[in-house]
Structure 1
Amino acid sequence: MNDRAPAPGGLALIEALVNTLNIETGLDCLDTPDARGRFALTPPDLPAARDLREALRAACLAHAGHGTSTDLDALLADAPLRVAIAPDGSATVRAAGPPTLLARVAEAIAAATADGTWTRLKACEAADCHWAYYDRSPACRSRWCSMSVCGARTKMRTYRARHTP
């Protein structure tokens, strides 16, 4: 759906996870062994991964100005993180313990928050899409994952609504 370049850094993981569900078709890639392998998930991990995915989607929608996000905060409360100090004295937040999906997502959010890119990860405002994308626009005001698909559909609906007798 998305014709944009992938999100930078750890946000690419979050973008990929959110985009494992195609809302329009109902296809959930987490049902495939390849996708589960990509995220190091086993079948018992799937309910928690799906909850995390939808909480991330809600956060991306909130970044785009559509609703609020509270579930993600509760999910990340259990993420094992630690502050790592480099020899030069710089600090980064790192996953503590095994690199679970939750820990990797929390680490990516911490890094993206530190560099100011977290709120640029958004979800398409089209109700039949909600695909995650990274907003590279200078004003950070993109609304759709793809101007040629979702943007065009929305503009055509608006045009038809105004010009239908």
Structure 2
Amino acid sequence: MEQPGERAPAPGLLLLVQDLANTVDLESAEDQLRVPADLDAWARQHDLLDLSFGPADLDDVLALREALRDTCQAHTGTPLPDPAAAELERLLRAAPLLLAIDAEGGAGVRPADGLTGAAALTAHIAAGIATAVADGTWPRLKACASHSCRWVYYDRSPAGRSRWCTMAICGSRAKMRAYRSRTTT
């Protein structure tokens, strides 16, 4: 699902987080994940060919999506709501990771064996986040400050202080509202 604007996608494994969070467009109410078959198609698009989903997985994946969006909003300085933190903890508890050492002695995390459905997807997401935390890119994955948008984008600005998915749309709207509130009294 494309959002208007000029932003480049998130780098590396953060793209999976960004793409999951952006499977719903809040302004148009267009949702790519309505049934479990939509989850299967989304996973195939992201080369997660070993994942399959049943009816019970849809609610957990949608909860993961919204908790991740809230987490990305927290990267803009808005506190992570307690219910979102609790939901992430519940989902991550069911999605363990393993430390994997490669032939050169390098280390990384990967999903534990035997995970299926929402737990397997959550583990893939968690592994990507762990990598992004290690390389310092995780805090730059943000949700637009516009409450009607909340599109997840990667902040490539030098200072890392971007607040809107696109200045041309959400940023301009916010600045116009601020201007009107200052001049209308």
Query: TM-score, normalised to structure 2's length?
Result: 0.82
Change (3 A) 1:36 1:25: farther
User: How many residue pairs end up in the alignment?
Assistant: 165
1:42 Cα shift?
Answer: 4.0
Q: Does 1:134 align with 2:154?
A: yes
Q: What are structure 1's unaligned runs of at least 5 residues?
A: none
> What is the CA deviation profile of residues 68-94 of structure 1, one whole-angstrom value per residue up to 9, with x for unaligned ones?
151323321221210111122111011
Q: Does 1:73 align with 2:77?
A: no
Q: Does 1:20 align with 2:27?
A: no
Partners of 2:167 and 2:104 in 1: CA distance: 44
- Structure 1 residue identity aligned to 2:64: L
Q: What are structure 2's unaligned runs of at least 5 residues?
A: 44-51
Identity %: 50
Q: Partner of 2:179: helix, strand, or coil?
A: helix
Kindly report structure 1 stretches of 4+ aligned residues shifted beyond 6 Å: none
Q: Does 1:86 align with 2:102?
A: yes
Matches within 5 A, 1:144-163: 144-163=164-183
> What is the CA deviation profile of residues 115-134 of structure 1, one whole-angstrom value per residue up to 9, with x for unaligned ones?
11111111000010111011
Partners of 2:4 and 2:166 in 1: CA distance: 5
Q: Does 1:113 align with 2:129?
A: no
Partners of 1:122 and 1:41 in 2: CA distance: 27
Change (3 A) 1:31 1:66: same
1:35 Cα shift?
Answer: 5.5
Q: Which residue of 2 aligns with 1:64?
A: 76
Query: TM-score, normalised to structure 1's length?
Result: 0.91
